[in-house]
């Protein structure tokens, strides 16, 4: 393999590969059938071996669990099912010892209705009344869309105790906090401080577009919301340098970019619109939708970074595509209507790709090449399946499959019933899909993922470089350059089932040689079915 230039120093999150993991889903150390921090800690050697850089743990706070833990009833403690605060600190220390960073989810917009703040606020004449958003008029703010359209038709719900309606952008058991109240703004800052003091390297701020509400607006991306996030950022810069805020804002690029501010708001934000277009491009065997959205995406501040992903703990959201494209995606990827959820599809990467290794690797390869820091979803590195018939989005949150035993090696007590069933779909059960088996097989998906992660680590340009479209003479070929002062990599991906040959008008050399890509002459690249490669240009002769 070619010698690469030395790696230059950049902010850690710009070259990091993230790994999203729900604590309950990874490993159960005490045999109660629910994953916990001690179990996750025991599995850190695996994540270090895999070669990811930063873990993102999903909410582990006390919760009635009516929304996968995003309904929090205490912001500053640990649900006893997952362990104790000491367990969290031990986990973070063990991760740091292995060179891994850890960020945590933090829910800012709302609480569970079981949270003591809401229980106090709903009481008549409560001094905490103004911590939440109340009204007598459910016609107020009707411009704001309803997000969970499968279960709700209004953002207001009646509270019989308060005798008023309360505002909720999500479930009716998740009342929105009132960010116009300075006490709420300070309380949330203190929650940020609490978890950064515990040792987390950053926080993923859930549902940030919806913090404030204003008359005559859709209640999304308001100036007041940006102003508050800038306050949070100033506090983090001041008190916790090197720690990050990652914004979850499922919005069009032009509306997400303001969440970076002038490098003074969130360090990172998810790039939602690019994600469904990757799936569309593979189905249509046409690269144009991916190129279009990347070219439409405005530049972001030098210090900021996109987070890119293929799948996560939610449905594959189709909010950021046209109605026509959404229907196409449903027809192609949700043949059973039960696979649909909200405005999206509740399936994992491998089943979406019909368990086809070539297409799974193609999408992971493209993900690792896109501008931004890639975020892998636990289990996708081994091609785990889903159980889409489970409630809500539980089907993509099933126990991690460690070995080929019936209990998948998930729990210290193999006979314990697990928090959700283990995947048993043909071809996806533990006997077919598990970590240990794939670790022993140098040709497994897991081995391939580990190999390409190791290669990407030597290509910081993938995290820091510019994106430059490099048109190919075939619409099925996605090709672009990632380039900075020290490195320049050409990404080529064949989105079609047929082998293609493209002339990229330059002399090239492969970096990966891992997918059968062959340089047939000095300028022409032959890509097999769903082939993918990283190439570097040779100097002129
Ligand atoms: Ca447990
Ligand atoms: Ca709100």
pTM of the model: 0.95
Residue 145 CA to ligand 1 centre (angstroms)? 38
Residue 285 CB neighbour total at 10 angstroms:
17
Residue 418 CA to ligand 1 centre (angstroms)? 9
Residue 85 CB neighbour total at 10 angstroms:
13
Residue 472 CA to ligand 2 centre (angstroms)? 45
Phi, psi of 55, rounded to the nearest 5 degrees:
-95, 145
Instruction: Give the burial string for 502-540 (b: 16+ CB within 10 Å, else e).
Output: bebeebbebbeebbebebeeeeebbbbebbbbbbbeeee
Protein residues near ligand 1, an ion, with CB under 5 A: 28, 30, 32, 34, 36
**E-only strand ranges, 324-454:** 344-345, 373-377
Ligand nearest the Cα atom of residue 81:
1
Q: What is the pLDDT of residues 425-479, one digit of tens each?
A: 999 999 999 999 999 999 999 999 999 999 999 999 999 999 999 988 899 999 9
CATH superfamily ID and name for 116-167: Oligo-1,6-glucosidase; Domain 2 (3.90.400.10)
The pLDDT score that the predictor gives to residue 141 is 93
Residue 173 CA to ligand 2 centre (angstroms)? 14
Residue 420 CA to ligand 1 centre (angstroms)? 13
Ligand nearest the Cα atom of residue 207:
2
Residues of the chain with CATH 2.60.40.1180: 462-537
Residue 109 CA to ligand 2 centre (angstroms)? 5
Catalytic residue annotation: 206, 248
The pLDDT score that the predictor gives to residue 521 is 59
Ligand nearest the Cα atom of residue 27:
1
Residue 413 CA to ligand 1 centre (angstroms)? 10
Q: Please give the class, per CATH, of domain 13-109+198-273+304-315+348-457.
A: alpha beta
535: enclosing H helix or E strand: strand 532-537
Distances (CA, A) of 149 to 32, 265, 341, 389: 35, 30, 9, 18
CB 430 within 8 A of CB 422: yes
Residues of the chain with CATH 3.20.20.80: 13-109+198-273+304-315+348-457
Specify the pairing of strand 305-309 against strand 268-270: parallel
Low-confidence ranges of the chain (pLDDT < 70): 1-8, 512-522, 539-541
Tokens of 380: 């996708």
The pLDDT score that the predictor gives to residue 211 is 98
The pLDDT score that the predictor gives to residue 504 is 78
CATH superfamily ID and name for 462-537: Golgi alpha-mannosidase II (2.60.40.1180)
Residue 45 CA to ligand 1 centre (angstroms)? 19
Ligand nearest the Cα atom of residue 30:
1
Ligand nearest the Cα atom of residue 42:
1
The pLDDT score that the predictor gives to residue 513 is 59
Residues of the chain with CATH 3.90.400.10: 116-167
Residue 29 CA to ligand 1 centre (angstroms)? 5
Residue 211 CA to ligand 2 centre (angstroms)? 4
Instruction: Report the distance separating Cα 316 and Cα 332, nearest Å.
Output: 13
CB 472 within 8 A of CB 489: no
Ligand nearest the Cα atom of residue 33:
1
| Closest by CA position to 269, among listed 259, 278, 261 | 259
Residue 351 CA to ligand 2 centre (angstroms)? 35
Residue 31 CA to ligand 1 centre (angstroms)? 6
Ligand nearest the Cα atom of residue 29:
1
All residues at 6 or more sequence positions from 485 whose CB lies less than 8 Å from its CB, including other chains: none
């Amino acid at each position: 393999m070619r010698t690469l230039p030395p790696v230059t120093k950049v902010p850690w999150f710009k070259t990091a590969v993230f790994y999203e993991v729900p604590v309950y889903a990874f490993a159960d150390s005490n045999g109660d059938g629910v994953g916990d921090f001690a179990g996750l800690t025991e599995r850190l050697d695996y994540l270090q071996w895999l070669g990811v850089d930063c873990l993102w743990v999903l909410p582990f706070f006390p919760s009635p669990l009516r929304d996968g833990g995003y309904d929090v009833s205490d912001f500053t403690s640990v649900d006893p099912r997952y362990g104790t605060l000491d367990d969290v600190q031990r986990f973070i220390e063990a991760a740091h010892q292995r060179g891994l960073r850890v960020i945590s989810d933090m829910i800012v917009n709302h609480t569970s209705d079981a949270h003591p703040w809401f229980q106090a606020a709903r009481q008549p004449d409560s001094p905490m009344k103004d911590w939440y958003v109340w009204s007598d008029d459910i016609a107020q703010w009707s411009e704001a869309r309803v997000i969970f359209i499968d279960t709700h038709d209004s953002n207001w719900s009646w509270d019989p105790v308060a005798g008023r309606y309360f505002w909720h952008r999500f479930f009716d058991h998740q009342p929105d906090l009132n960010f116009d109240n300075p006490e709420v703004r300070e309380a949330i800052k203190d929650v940020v401080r609490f978890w950064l003091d515990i040792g987390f390297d950053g926080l993923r701020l859930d549902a940030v577009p919806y913090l404030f509400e204003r008359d005559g607006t859709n209640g999304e991306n308001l100036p007041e919301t940006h102003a508050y996030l800038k306050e949070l950022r100033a506090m983090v810069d001041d008190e916790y340098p090197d720690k990050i805020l990652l914004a979850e804002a499922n919005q069009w690029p032009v509306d997400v970019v303001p969440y970076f501010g002038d490098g003074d708001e969130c360090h990172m934000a998810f790039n939602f619109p690019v994600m469904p277009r990757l799936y569309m491009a593979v189905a249509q065997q046409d690269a144009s939708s991916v190129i279009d959205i990347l070219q439409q995406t405005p530049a972001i501040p030098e210090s900021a970074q996109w987070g890119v992903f293929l799948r996560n703990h939610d449905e594959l959201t189709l909010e950021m595509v046209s109605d026509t494209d959404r229907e196409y995606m449903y027809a192609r990827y949700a043949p059973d209507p039960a696979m649909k959820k909200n405005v999206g599809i509740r399936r994992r990467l491998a089943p979406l790709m019909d368990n086809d290794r070539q297409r799974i690797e193609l999408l992971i390869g493209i993900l690792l090449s896109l501008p931004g820091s890639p975020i892998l979803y636990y289990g996708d590195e081994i091609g785990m399946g889903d159980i889409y018939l489970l409630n809500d989005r539980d089907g993509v949150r099933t126990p991690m499959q460690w070995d080929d035993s019936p209990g998948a090696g998930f729990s210290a007590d193999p006979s314990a019933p697990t928090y959700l069933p283990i995947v048993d779909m043909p071809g996806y059960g533990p006997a077919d899909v598990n970590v240990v088996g794939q670790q022993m097989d140098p040709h497994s998906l897991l081995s391939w993922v580990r190999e390409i992660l190791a290669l990407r680590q030597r290509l910081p340009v993938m995290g820091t470089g510019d994106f430059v479209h490099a048109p190919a003479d075939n619409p099925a070929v996605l090709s672009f350059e990632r380039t900075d002062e020290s490195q320049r990599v050409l990404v080529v991906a064949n989105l079609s089932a047929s082998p293609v040959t493209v002339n990229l008008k330059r002399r090239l050399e492969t970096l990966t040689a891992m997918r059968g890509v062959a340089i047939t002459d000095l300028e022409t690249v032959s890509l097999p079915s769903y082939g993918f490669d990283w190439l570097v240009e040779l100097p002129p002769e």
